[in-house]
Amino acid sequence: MKVRAFLAVDLDEGLRDHVSRIQDTLKSADAQVKFVEPENLHFTLKFFGDVGEGKLRRIENVVRDTLRGYEPFEISIRGAGVFPNPRYIRVVWLGVENPETFSDLQRSLDMEFVKMGFRPERDYVPHLTVGRVKGPRNRDKLAELIGELEDVEVGSMRVSEVSLKRSELTPAGPIYTDMEVFRL
């Protein structure tokens, strides 16, 4: 049986309230945005899509082997931004300040996943997705609020583990379940 899987770093629980307050500010635009539930906030390292049991085991082995080269590290979350651009907003995110170690970790993992047949990530930017725009209503007001938050300080957290997650899509939103947690 195949499962929809991805690799992620969970947002530190201590920062969820602050991110929720930022989401509340953005909600005041009354734009058509589906905001990520606080318990689902994470930094995606790799989205695998539907994978079978055998490939999941290989993914776990790659992650285990790659993480041996890393110690826990700190990241600072700062600044709101959008993908792909302010005139056509699809994703609202919070950024990682000084993302070198985070980006290096993602690159190291991705090189191994490409050897397994997965597509390479292009232009990876570590970010925390806080919402996805679903329609055009009040997009200008949303862009204005995001601009006001471009330097917002969210806080720092220690990255000490990476989670292989299952994603189940439901009408109420996705349900993420840890299948395996790997310590740095």
In b/e form, how buried is each residue of 150-165, taking b as 16+ CB within 10 angstroms?
eebebeebebeebbbb
Q: Tell me the catalytic residues.
A: 42, 127
For the purposes of burial, counting CB atoms within 10 Å of the CB of 25, is it exposed (0-12), middle (13-18) or buried (19 or more)? middle
Q: What are phi and psi of 101, to 5 degrees?
A: -65, -40
**Which residues have a Cβ under 8 Å from the Cβ of 176 and sit 6 or more positions away?**
40, 42, 165, 166, 167
